[in-house]
Amino acid sequence: MRDSYLDEFFTFLRFASISTDDTYKEKLVECAHWLVEKLNRIGLQAQLVSTPGHPIVWAKNKHQPGRKTVMIYGHYDVQPPDPLELWDSPPFDPVLRNGYVYARGSTDNKGQILSHILGIQETIAEKGDLPVNLHLIIEGEEEIGSGSLPGFLKKHRDSLGCDIVVVSDTGMIARGVPTLSYGLRGVTACEVKVTAAKMDLHSGVFGGAVANPITALARLLATLHDANGHIAIEGFYDDVKPLEDWERDAWKKLPVDADKLILDETKAPALFGEKGYSTFERLWARPTAELNGIGGGYQGQGTKTVIASHAMAKLTFRLVPNQEGDKVLKLAHKHFEKHLPPGVTMEITDGHSGPWYLTDPHSAFGEAAQHALKEAFGTEVALIREGGSIPIVSQFRDILGVETLLLGLALHDCRAHSPNENFPLENLQNGIKMNQAILQEIGRARS
């Protein structure tokens, strides 16, 4: 790999493009301008598009009739680096150690989108053009929900017409194993607040006469699952799309021990989940009900003999085909109302939602992606779903009417969103090859 590529990677990573903190707004603008200049230099027509939030970078080649049109999507914004004391090196001062680049954003998403940019650069340098019409969209708000992107897509719907979207913001099943993700879980959220008295009470004076909302909340939340890990909300599984037989067979043959992978990565003492399903099936194709936060009462040092006036919990539900977030929340409301202990009142506040995504990996473009991945990595392709959510993928379908190919370059131990985030240089190089191969394969794919 050329030394200049590593220099550019480091430059890209030095921008502290933290989208959630307005303190870094100028850093995001500087990063976006750097991308525009880079893309113009390699032969694309690039521009900066203002939005109500952070700018979007939009680049394209000269479109020619009769060719397939591909949109490549990525993002230049990153998560905050905190806690800083857990980094082995400064998060925005990238370093290369043992073939891995360590910096915030190295995997999510700067390394992955840069590999596409460099692949485009090499193809244009060698052949003078690309085998397809290209839109390259790089946004600055992915880490905060892509708030401005749907408006951009709707405003420019006609100009952005394409046959397929390519995204590299997902993971590989194992190092060196090319991976096509064809499904994502959705998500919906709510917050439950349980209240007893109008203020905190002395536990000696009132204990035994007034309900304790923390105890009531604990009892309520314990009704969410049975002993086998099944979600006990009535009707919760009614709309769940069963796994296809070919998926079960394919996942059993993946070249990785899922149980060992999870245990090694998390250091959990044992695995636990819905009985009757394998680890991959639980992660990729089964819904969940998770407690993400809980609080109430005294949190300081020592003891305070108090009965809290209220307690709260934050929950998210991971959704699978064909579940709907609004329906799941209504079922959850009904469940909590049915099981609410006496002596307390309850308030439920619904939060954000993002839909699930599922596409056919055996479509013409899915087959093209598999051929490209095999060519770039030199080995068989793993077909998987993923447990996380990328809401914008469903918006590409809803707004532009196109499917998305998820060609991930992230390793399971890349530590995205965590201290010591890293990206292997071999994946940067393989990503360059993958970009060149996928554009070539799409260019000659049947419609």
Residue pair 273/279 in contact (Cβ under 8 Å)? The answer is yes
Which of 354, 371, 388 finishes a domain?
354
Residue 346 has pLDDT above 90, yes or no: yes
320 vs 233: CA distance, rounded Å? 16
Is 46 inside a domain boundary? yes
**Total domain count, the chain:** 2
CA distance to 99, 100, 168, 217, per residue, from 294 (Å): 40, 37, 34, 9
Q: Both 233 and 322 in a single domain?
A: yes
List all residues 6 or more positions away from 284 whose beta carbon is below 8 Å from its beta carbon: 183, 185, 251, 384, 385, 386, 387
Residue 343 has pLDDT above 70, yes or no: yes
Is 248 inside a domain boundary? no
pLDDT of residue 1: 67
pLDDT of residue 447: 66
Q: Both 389 and 308 in a single domain?
A: no
Is 298 inside a domain boundary? yes
Q: Both 36 and 91 in a single domain?
A: yes
Q: Both 160 and 224 in a single domain?
A: no
List all residues 6 or more positions away from 26 whose beta carbon is below 8 Å from its beta carbon: none
The H or E element spanning position 25 is helix 25-41
Is 269 inside a domain boundary? no
Which of 295, 324, 354 finishes a domain?
354
pLDDT of residue 208: 95
Scored b (16 or more CB within 10 A) or e, 410-437 reads bbeebbbeebbbbbbbebbbbbbbbbbb
CA distance to 113, 175, 385, per residue, from 169 (Å): 8, 16, 13
Scored b (16 or more CB within 10 A) or e, 13-29 reads bbbbbbbeeeebeebbb
Instruction: Please state the rounded mean pLDDT for residues 277-282.
Output: 96
DSSP letters, 161-212, are: --SEEEE--SB-SBTTB-EEEEEE-EEEEEEEEEE-SSS-EEHHHHBTTB--
pLDDT of residue 59: 98
CA 255 to chain centre: 23
Q: pLDDT band for 62, please (50, 70, 90 cuts).
A: very high
Mean pLDDT over each residue of the chain, to the nearest integer:
96
Instruction: Please state the rounded mean pLDDT for residues 188-215.
Output: 97
Q: Both 88 and 201 in a single domain?
A: no
pLDDT of residue 142: 94
Q: Both 342 and 379 in a single domain?
A: no
444 vs 447: CA distance, rounded Å? 9
Query: What sign has the CA pseudo-torsion 197, 202, 203, 208?
Result: negative
Tell me whether strands 179-184 and 133-139 are parallel, antiparallel or unpaired: unpaired
Higher pLDDT, 110 or 266: 110
Instruction: Please state the rounded mean pLDDT for residues 44-60.
Output: 98
Query: In terms of Cα–Cα distance, which of 122, 156, 169, 140 is closest to 36?
Result: 140
CB atoms within 10 A of CB 259: 13
Residue 65 has pLDDT above 70, yes or no: yes
Name the residue range of residue 295's domain.
Answer: 186-240+287-354
pTM of the model: 0.90
Query: What sign has the CA pseudo-torsion 13, 16, 17, 20?
Result: positive
Q: Both 161 and 198 in a single domain?
A: no
CA 59 to chain centre: 24
Q: Both 81 and 207 in a single domain?
A: no
Q: What are phi and psi of 180, to 5 degrees?
A: -110, 115
Is 280 inside a domain boundary? no
Share of the chain above pLDDT 90, in %: 95
Q: Both 305 and 365 in a single domain?
A: no
* Cross-strand partners of 101: 96, 423
pLDDT of residue 154: 97
Q: Both 219 and 366 in a single domain?
A: no
User: Rounded to a whole number, what is the distance in angstroms from the first to the last CA of the chain?
Assistant: 35
Is 249 inside a domain boundary? no
Query: In terms of Cα–Cα distance, which of 21, 34, 125 is closest to 80?
Result: 21
Is 258 inside a domain boundary? no
List all residues 6 or more positions away from 275 whose beta carbon is below 8 Å from its beta carbon: 228, 229, 230
pLDDT of residue 243: 95
Q: Both 325 and 401 in a single domain?
A: no
222 vs 169: CA distance, rounded Å? 35
Which CATH number belongs to the domain containing residue 304 in this structure? 3.30.70.360
Q: Both 114 and 200 in a single domain?
A: no
pLDDT of residue 389: 86
List all residues 6 or more positions away from 300 whose beta carbon is below 8 Å from its beta carbon: none
Residue 350 has pLDDT above 90, yes or no: yes
Which of 316, 338, 354 finishes a domain?
354
Is 15 inside a domain boundary? yes
The H or E element spanning position 376 is helix 364-377
Share of the chain above pLDDT 70, in %: 100
Which CATH number belongs to the domain containing residue 372 in this structure? 3.40.630.10
Place of tokens 């525009």: 36
Q: What are phi and psi of 97, to 5 degrees?
A: -135, 120
How buried is residue 300: exposed, middle or buried, by Cβ count under 10 Å (0-12/13-18/19+)?
exposed
